[in-house]
């Protein structure tokens, strides 16, 4: 068979190095530089492209080299190129005449384009910059992090939507150079960074923070508004934290004003906030040592059996969202955590997106909660809920999050992790949702997916036939088949790249 040249002579190779414009943490580190990128397709009919490049790094760091490809002259860089060989990936030493290979004929059989462009990206911090399908969501709002770690900054910057703890960053000394958010955006200007803020809690240890910090400011300003229980105890709905009485207008005005002040004046500005959390009431978990029931209006009746108090509480939450929007504007994202928005479409309509904590276990009827979440006939299924939030800021953002993992024995008898991030990615590709790649509980809990997919743009909506959900993309397709619908093993899925299976979960079998 006579093959056409897959890469015409007009191919232009663009060059990019990962610019790490960092503050003091990067002192002395030299950025890697890729030059003289020269791709040439073999004429032996193999479909393989040899990409020759020079890699420099003044301090001699071994680099992780990634290849990016564009099919539209450089407008987008989502053409997947997984079949790579040669000097690509981790541990590439600087030097001239490095060669990597891309088997474009395997990844894109029959492709012929005048508009192919290639980029070679080198990271001296061992970060893989392979293209991924959009709506990666990463969250680092639990635990402590070393914000001076440039590798972590470069790594988390790959996400499309990133939640980090505003209350931590605003409680640190003001940045002397670029803020953490600015360092992230120096790596990826398209990364939307939202800051975690608490709706109604203060931490008791904030009393010991330096004057002027967010933590101390919030502790002091809200001291007059500590909420009580029906027995007069201090209301704590989480260990080490105190609930504020947001039924008091001055209390919620203070909370909103402090957030807005630190957003505007602390030197660390976010694209929005992640409100944690809005529920339809207040519960005291049994592991918190508090007597009585929450009683914000002080009438001796617990909030969950006090209709007036419940109504006032829900109105107070609406008022806080409106108050922050009045201060920081329509373009400042407000994403809601908490169960109220899962079923309250009017409240959800005030948000730019919803975080489903412990998805799909909250907000959906037992036992087959995942089936309910994916059933268009259920009023609050993801299909319906995604029509509720605002769209003015690029939303709606439906964030699917679950810190728990499950395990199973695969077809080789190997104990295998069931990573919810992988399963939720399949769902996200169907619903245009966001799936988490980090959910940090003191350590990188999910990490970046082992298999990175770049499927390009969706070619249409998801087709639903009974238990089968399928959606076609420019470079592949996604298929989810609902099984029991019961977490943590509710369905099987398969993701293909141009007809070739690149990820599959069909227990006990899996790919890869």
Residue with smaller CB distance to Ca ion, 166 or 242: 242
∠ CA 138-391-246 to the nearest 5 degrees?
Answer: 75
Instruction: Give least dist CB 308 to Ca ion, A.
Output: 8
Instruction: Give least dist CB 157 to Ca ion, A.
Output: 17
Instruction: Give least dist CB 29 to Ca ion, A.
Output: 5
Instruction: Give least dist CB 296 to Ca ion, A.
Output: 7
Cα–Cα distances (Å) from 260 to 153, 174, 218, 253, 326, in that order, read 25, 16, 12, 10, 10
Q: Please, are residues 3 and 47 in contact by the beta-carbon 8 Å criterion?
A: yes
Instruction: Give least dist CB 229 to Ca ion, A.
Output: 10
Residue 497: its H or E element: strand 491-497
Residue with smaller CB distance to Ca ion, 59 or 149: 59
Instruction: Give least dist CB 230 to Ca ion, A.
Output: 7
CA separation for the pair 191, 186 (Å, rounded): 10
Residue with smaller CB distance to Ca ion, 228 or 384: 228
Residue with smaller CB distance to Ca ion, 76 or 228: 228
Give the 3-state secondary structure of residue 103: strand
Residue ranges that bind Ca ion, judged by CB under 5 A:
30, 57, 59, 61, 124, 295, 297, 299, 301, 306, 309
Instruction: Give least dist CB 354 to Ca ion, A.
Output: 28
Instruction: From 2, 119, 4, select the one nearest 51 (Cα to Cα).
Output: 119
Tell me the CA end-to-end span of the chain in Å, nearest whole number. 32
CA separation for the pair 148, 25 (Å, rounded): 6
Residue with smaller CB distance to Ca ion, 298 or 367: 298
Residue with smaller CB distance to Ca ion, 114 or 308: 308
H helices present in 298-386, as ranges: 307-328, 340-343, 345-348, 369-373, 382-385
Instruction: Give least dist CB 242 to Ca ion, A.
Output: 18
Strands 272-276 and 509-511: unpaired
Instruction: From 398, 397, 401, select the one nearest 358 (Cα to Cα).
Output: 401
Query: Quick one: DSSP state of residue 256?
Result: H
Query: Quick one: DSSP state of residue 93?
Result: P
Residue with smaller CB distance to Ca ion, 53 or 359: 53
Cα–Cα distances (Å) from 229 to 295, 300, 308, 386, in that order, read 5, 8, 16, 36
Residue with smaller CB distance to Ca ion, 128 or 297: 297
Instruction: From 139, 133, 155, 138, select the one nearest 452 (Cα to Cα).
Output: 133
Please report the sign of the dihedral spanned by the C-alpha atoms of residue 204, residue 207, residue 208, residue 209: positive
**Residue located via tokens 């002579």:** 9
Residue with smaller CB distance to Ca ion, 72 or 299: 299
Instruction: Give least dist CB 387 to Ca ion, A.
Output: 35
Residue with smaller CB distance to Ca ion, 229 or 268: 229
∠ CA 397-400-403 to the nearest 5 degrees?
Answer: 145
Half-sphere exposure in the Cβ direction for 465 (13 Å, CA): 4
Instruction: Give least dist CB 363 to Ca ion, A.
Output: 25
Instruction: Give least dist CB 350 to Ca ion, A.
Output: 25
Instruction: Give least dist CB 149 to Ca ion, A.
Output: 15
CA separation for the pair 445, 405 (Å, rounded): 10
Residue with smaller CB distance to Ca ion, 306 or 422: 306
CA 128 to chain centre: 17
Give the 3-state secondary structure of residue 119: strand
CA separation for the pair 472, 456 (Å, rounded): 10
Residue with smaller CB distance to Ca ion, 149 or 410: 149
């Amino acid at each position: 068979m006579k093959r056409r040249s897959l890469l015409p002579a007009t191919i232009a190779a663009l060059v990019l190095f990962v610019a790490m414009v960092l503050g003091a943490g990067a002192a002395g580190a030299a950025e890697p530089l890729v030059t003289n990128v020269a791709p040439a397709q073999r004429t032996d009919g193999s479909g393989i492209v040899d990409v020759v490049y020079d890699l420099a790094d003044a301090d001699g760091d071994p680099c992780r080299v990634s290849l990016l490809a564009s099919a539209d002259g450089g407008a987008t860089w989502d053409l997947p190129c997984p079949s790579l060989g040669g000097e690509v990936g981790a541990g590439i030493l600087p030097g001239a005449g490095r060669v990597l290979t891309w088997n474009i004929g395997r990844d894109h059989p029959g492709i012929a384009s005048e508009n192919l462009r290639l980029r070679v990206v080198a990271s001296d911090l061992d970060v893989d910059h392979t293209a991924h399908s959009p709506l990666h969501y990463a969250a680092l709002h639990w635990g402590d992090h070393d914000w001076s770690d440039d590798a972590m900054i470069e790594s988390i910057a790959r996400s499309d939507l990133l939640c980090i703890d505003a209350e931590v960053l605003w409680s640190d000394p003001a940045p002397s150079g670029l803020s953490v958010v600015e360092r992230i955006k120096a790596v990826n200007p398209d990364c939307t960074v939202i800051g975690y803020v608490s709706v109604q809690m203060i931490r008791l240890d904030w009393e010991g923070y330096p004057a002027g910090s967010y933590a101390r400011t919030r502790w002091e300003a809200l001291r007059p508004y500590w909420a009580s229980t029906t027995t007069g105890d201090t209301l704590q709905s989480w260990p080490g934290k105190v609930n504020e009485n947001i039924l008091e207008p001055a209390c919620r005005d203070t909370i909103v004003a402090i957030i807005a002040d630190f957003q505007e004046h602390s030197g660390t500005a976010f694209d929005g906030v992640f409100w944690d959390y809005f529920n339809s009431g207040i519960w005291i978990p049994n592991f918190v040592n508090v007597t009585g029931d929450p009683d914000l209006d002080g009438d001796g009746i617990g909030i969950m059996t006090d209709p007036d108090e419940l109504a006032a509480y829900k109105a107070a939450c609406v008022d806080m969202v409106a108050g922050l929007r009045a201060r920081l504007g329509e373009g400042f994202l407000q994403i809601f955590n908490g169960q109220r928005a899962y079923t309250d479409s009017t409240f959800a309509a005030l948000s730019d997106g919803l975080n489903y904590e412990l998805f799909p276990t909250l907000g959906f009827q037992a036992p087959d909660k995942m089936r309910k979440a994916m059933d268009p006939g259920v009023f609050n299924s993801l299909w319906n809920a995604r029509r509720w939030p605002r769209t003015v800021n690029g939303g709606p953002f439906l964030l699917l999050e679950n810190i728990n993992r499950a395990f199973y024995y695969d077809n080789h008898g190997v104990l295998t992790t069931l990573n919810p991030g992988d399963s939720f990615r399949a769902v996200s590709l169907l619903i245009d949702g966001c799936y988490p790649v980090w959910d940090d509980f003191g350590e990188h809990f999910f990490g970046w997916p082992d298999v990175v997919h770049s499927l390009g743009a969706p070619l249409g909506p998801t087709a639903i036939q009974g238990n089968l959900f399928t959606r076609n993309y420019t470079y592949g397709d996604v298929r989810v088949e609902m099984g029991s619908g019961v977490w943590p093993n509710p369905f099987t899925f398969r993701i293909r790249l141009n007809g070739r299976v690149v990820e599959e979960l069909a227990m006990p079998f899996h790919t890869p």
